[in-house]
Amino acid sequence: MSSILHTIGIAVGGILAGLALAGALLWRQQQALRVARYQATHDEVTGLPNRRLFLARLRAALADNAPVGVVLLDLDRFKTVNDTLGHDSGNVLLDQVGRILTRLPTPVRITARLSGDEFALLVDGDADDTAAVAHAAWHLIAADPMRVINGDIRVTASVGYTHTHDPHASPRQLLAEADTAMYQAKRSTIGVCDYRPHSTPSPRRSRDRHHR
């Protein structure tokens, strides 16, 4: 009898060990899947949502049939920072800008880094809400020097924004409109500019970049 019980104990122990191993493998697979999903939708440098996630959230906001705005900005003379202080300092600067932008309160739904030194904000609300967010972002970035590896530097940004209440609007078209306004702000050195289809020229680089 004791021999049978011993055999049963060994078998049960083997089953439990197998279940434990299977559970550990399943947990690792789930962790790897979560990491892969996060990396597919977030920026490596800042940890912010990336272009893919921003477009998905913008598409969802438009589907809600509510007014929505897009604010786009890039840092002035960022290439100079990379060239003179190095890419590590440039990455530190991008991370700090991302942290500053995430401090913007409602009605900002999401803050994203699209590429390079380009950031985007998705705004829930009307045209006045979008304009207020655009100006707040511009002021926050320029307010204080930012600490990088090699010291403190002052940073400014060029900000463009657009707004729509049309649920059939294309997310990429809204990005392109905000992009056009942003380059208008950069050319005119006014800091912040809204999209005006009948008065704002549409740069070829902007149009191609957001429709590829």
Distance in angstroms (rounded) separating the CA atoms of residues 174 and 134:
15
Neighbours of 79 (CB within 10 A): 12
Distance in angstroms (rounded) separating the CA atoms of residues 170 and 23:
44
Q: List helix spans (H) across 64-163.
A: 78-85, 87-101, 127-143
Pairing of strands 157-164, 192-194: parallel
Per the document, the length of the chain is 212
Q: Positive or negative CA dihedral for 83, 147, 161, 184?
A: negative
Catalytic residue among 95, 117, 124, 194: 117
- The yes-or-no answer on residue 43 being catalytic is no
Q: Positive or negative CA dihedral for 78, 85, 152, 49?
A: positive
Q: What are phi and psi of 30, to 5 degrees?
A: -65, -40
The answer to whether 182 touches 158, Cβ cutoff 8 Å, is yes
Q: Which two structure tokens, joined as six digits, stand for 148?
A: 């990088």
Distance in angstroms (rounded) separating the CA atoms of residues 93 and 200:
30
Active site residues: 117
